[in-house]
Chain A
Amino acid sequence: MPAIFPRWTNNIPLAVAVLGPFALAGLVGFVWYYFSPKYTDVGYRPIQPVPFSHKLHAGDMGMDCRYCHNTVERAAVAAVPPAATCMNCHSLVKTDSPRLKLVRDSFETGETIPWVRVHQLPDFAFFDHRPHLAAGVGCSSCHGRIDQMTIVEMDQPLSMGWCLECHRNPEPNLRPVDQITNMAWDPATDGKAYDAAKDPKRKRDVNPPEHCSGCHR
């Protein structure tokens, strides 16, 4: 009768002992890298129904974000602008561009433009733009250099760890409140020169929540 286990099986325990840790480390590394919101979320950039370019409007023409996202300081949501906002200009310029057909139709019929949502937190997390802008956190800290994007993409993971990273140490991300929409503000240089604690316009210290009910209400 031949042996049930051939001779080479003697090497299995050794192989497992030697390769197992590598395989485990590989698996951990794989999950750590590929399951992170830095992989799953960052870089998401859906194709929009109208080829609207922030690079052209906010970058080259230097329009302020609040011209279009005008509720951002007054409401929790920044809101994508209605067609009427585009028509302020596009009733006078590029009036017959085929790329703007949807905007013109929407303005006339009231039918909404089906913009695809880019940044979206899960429904169990609470976010409000107002306190962040009032505290002097700039759009670019959370949305990246929108003024250089032809198509909007996610620049930050918007994960809980990312929120908390800033909430634990907000100072490096603060800037004078009148600079919040300034995309060229560089935290590395301008930020170093600015000390929020010494700004006379600030009436109180910022106090971002780190307790669970701050964001899960």
Chain B
Amino acid sequence: MARTNQIQAIALCLGTLGALAGCQGNRSELPPVHLINQMDFQQRFDAQEVNEFFQTVDCAKAHNPNQCEGRAARLPLAGTVAVGQLHDDDELYRGRGPDGRLLDRLPAAIKLSTELMARGEERYNIYCQPCHDYTGGGQGVATQRGGGFSVAPKNLNDPQIRAMPLGHFFDVITNGKGTMMPYAAQIPAQDRWAISVWVRTLQVARTPEEAK
């Protein structure tokens, strides 16, 4: 009799222990426990990590944001240029010719090809499609929800926009326009040109009678 009670008690204990410990894959808000983790965190920083040393200065007194915002990654100071980042090719990086006007062709550094157009289509569908939709109509998914956009995206097939030079699209992506924010930080210059080409392609595809 006592024996069965004991066994029951032990089984009960093991059962609760198991229930408390849970199963593999259970959700938890507690960080993973690594028994031996002396080398998990070493004297170096990952990207986007916090460095407490740079939080000791009060931001109001700091000479530049690098000193107080606690980023392990050091931001380049205003007015400095890293090697290879001068971007002095005005055609490629600003979309403007020697006369300072927006280009209506691709910059010399980029060649039109089917790869460029495929790249443009892919990148357009990543970065522009949420708002401007797949055809450029301006009915993207993001504009249809949560009360809708306070300013609707422009219809890229609008005659007014169709009349714009190719460089205009590059310029809008790079610097933004009106309520549309700049995308220069998200998209490298080469891809911005590829997207511009795709925007033009969409416009032409939309209006076969006007296409040349």
Give the contacts of A21-63 with B (CB-CB under 8 A). 33-47, 60-63
Contacts of A165 in B (CB 8 A): none
Asked whether A64 is an interface residue with its Cβ less than 8 Å from the other chain, the reply is yes
Is chain B's interface secondary structure helix, strand, loop, or mixed overall? loop
Interface hit among B91-99, B120-128, B159-167 = B120-128
6 A-B residue pairs with Cβ-Cβ distance under 8 Å, sorted by A, are A43-B25, A43-B26, A67-B130, A70-B186, A75-B47, A123-B44
Contacts of B209 in A (CB 8 A): none
Q: Are A92 and B29 in contact (CB under 8 A)?
A: no
Apart from A40-B33, A67-B130: 6 A-B pairs, beta carbons within 8 A:
A44-B28, A67-B186, A77-B46, A82-B185, A94-B147, A111-B69
Using known A-B contacts A67-B127, A112-B71, determine if residue A93 contacts B146 with beta carbons closer than 8 Å.
yes
Q: Are A43 and B122 in contact (CB under 8 A)?
A: no
Q: Are B24 and A112 in contact (CB under 8 A)?
A: no
Give the contacts of A135-177 with B (CB-CB under 8 A). 153-154
CB nearest to B42 among chain A residues: A123
Q: Are A80 and B27 in contact (CB under 8 A)?
A: no
Q: Are B27 and A153 in contact (CB under 8 A)?
A: yes
Give the contacts of A99-124 with B (CB-CB under 8 A). 110-112, 120, 122-124
Chain B: residues with CB nearer than 8 A to chain A? 21, 23-35, 37, 39-42, 44, 46-48, 65, 69-71, 122, 125-127, 130-131, 141-143, 145-151, 179, 181, 183, 185-188
Q: Which of B44, B47, B149 contacts A92 (CB 8 A)?
A: B149
Q: Are B24 and A33 in contact (CB under 8 A)?
A: yes
A107 to chain B minimum Cβ distance, whole angstroms, is: 10
Q: Are B27 and A34 in contact (CB under 8 A)?
A: no
Number of interface residues of A (CB under 8 A): 50
Q: Which of B31, B142, B149 contacts A46 (CB 8 A)?
A: B31
Interface hit among A9-17, A83-91, A191-199, A205-213 = A83-91
Distance between Cα atoms of A182 and B29 in the complex (Å): 28
Distance between Cα atoms of A104 and B25 in the complex (Å): 35
B69 to chain A minimum Cβ distance, whole angstroms, is: 7
Using known A-B contacts A41-B32, A92-B150, A92-B179, determine if residue A67 contacts B24 with beta carbons closer than 8 Å.
no
Interface contacts (Cβ under 8 Å), in number, total 109
Distance between Cα atoms of A38 and B23 in the complex (Å): 9
Distance between Cα atoms of A76 and B48 in the complex (Å): 12
Distance between Cα atoms of A38 and B24 in the complex (Å): 6
Distance between Cα atoms of A118 and B40 in the complex (Å): 15
Name, among B125, B126, B187, the residue most crowded by chain A CB atoms within 10 Å (CB to CB).
Answer: B126
Name, among B48, B69, B179, B187, the residue most crowded by chain A CB atoms within 10 Å (CB to CB).
Answer: B48
Is chain A's interface secondary structure helix, strand, loop, or mixed overall? loop
Contacts of A62 in B (CB 8 A): 141
Distance between Cα atoms of A63 and B41 in the complex (Å): 34
A155 to chain B minimum Cβ distance, whole angstroms, is: 9
Using known A-B contacts A67-B130, A123-B42, A123-B44, determine if residue A46 contacts B29 with beta carbons closer than 8 Å.
yes
Name, among A40, A60, A153, the residue most crowded by chain B CB atoms within 10 Å (CB to CB).
Answer: A40
Q: Are A88 and B181 in contact (CB under 8 A)?
A: yes
CB nearest to A97 among chain B residues: B146
B111 to chain A minimum Cβ distance, whole angstroms, is: 20
Distance between Cα atoms of A45 and B31 in the complex (Å): 8
Using known A-B contacts A44-B31, A93-B142, A112-B71, determine if residue A123 contacts B149 with beta carbons closer than 8 Å.
no
Distance between Cα atoms of A82 and B23 in the complex (Å): 36
CB nearest to A154 among chain B residues: B32
Q: Are A61 and B142 in contact (CB under 8 A)?
A: yes
CB nearest to A87 among chain B residues: B181
Distance between Cα atoms of A141 and B2 in the complex (Å): 53
Contacts of B122 in A (CB 8 A): 178
Q: Are B145 and A61 in contact (CB under 8 A)?
A: yes
Q: Are A77 and B149 in contact (CB under 8 A)?
A: no
Q: Which of A60, A70, A91 contacts B181 (CB 8 A)?
A: A91
